[in-house]
Amino acid sequence: MKIKVMENILSSNDQLAEANREEFNRRSITVLNVMASPGAGKTSVITELMRRLDGEVAFSVVEGDIASAIDAEKIEAMGVPVLQINTGGGCHLDANMIREAVQELQPPDHSVLFIENVGNLICPSAFDLGETLRMVIASVPEGHDKPYKYVYMFETADVVILNKTDLMPYINFDRDNFIQGVRALNEKAPLFEVSCSTGAGFSELVAWLKKQIR
């Protein structure tokens, strides 16, 4: 019975996600669903990308957290339109939340919308939001084994980012093993190794993002 309920929830979410996707396509809005563990660097990567592309394209951001507006305040301080969703305990965003958020935010045509999902590597991957691209961020302190454990997250990624590479000298992180784990699940997604602290790897990531903008 429980499985049936879950199937119904997912299929109604898929319908709403498809409607979101149609609207994003019609209005040429590039939507990135940013997913990662708590603290892996979702907000840091989003803010660094927006800083580097400042003036080249319009941005808006939806922030998903169980509680607080800490991340939304950081985005607001940059002068970027932002809407915070508090899920009140829910471990992921869903397509209906994004539909309502977009009605309120009204991102302009040809803009980029970042959706920072709730921090975890499990639930967010099961819920299509209607995004253009799924961005999955792993970070060095979490360890190289994450792709082997959180398979669906890495399997369905359109781009994988390894953040906090500046910490590589201090942490027992097997880079080759991490890359092998990602590639065993996902041959296509580009993989960028970056550091929000030093800026390493960002010029390549920015060049990739520019090519995705519609």
Ligand X SMILES: Nc1nc2c(ncn2[C@@H]2O[C@H](COP(=O)(O)OP(=O)(O)OP(=O)(O)O)[C@@H](O)[C@H]2O)c(=O)[nH]1
Which residues of the shown chain bind Mg ion in the complex (CB under 5 A)? 42-43, 71
* Of 38 and 190, CB closest to ligand X: 38
Residues that bind ligand X (CB under 6 A): 36, 38-44, 71, 119, 163-164, 166-167, 195-197
Rounded to an integer, what distance in angstroms lies between the CA atom of residue 210 and that of residue 136?
Answer: 18
Residue nearest to Mg ion (CB): 43
Rounded to an integer, what distance in angstroms lies between the CA atom of residue 45 and that of residue 164?
Answer: 10
* Of 96 and 197, CB closest to ligand X: 197
Which residues neighbour 64 within 8 Å (Cβ) at sequence distance 6 or greater? 85, 87, 92, 93, 97, 115, 116, 117, 118
Residue 209 Cβ vs ligand X, minimum distance, rounded to whole Å: 17
The string of DSSP codes covering 23-81 is: HHHHTT-EEEEEEESTTSSHHHHHHHHHHHTTTTS-EEEEEEESS--HHHHHHHHTT--
* Of 18 and 73, CB closest to ligand X: 73
Residue 155 Cβ vs Mg ion, minimum distance, rounded to whole Å: 23
* Of 71 and 128, CB closest to Mg ion: 71
Residue 71 Cβ vs Mg ion, minimum distance, rounded to whole Å: 4
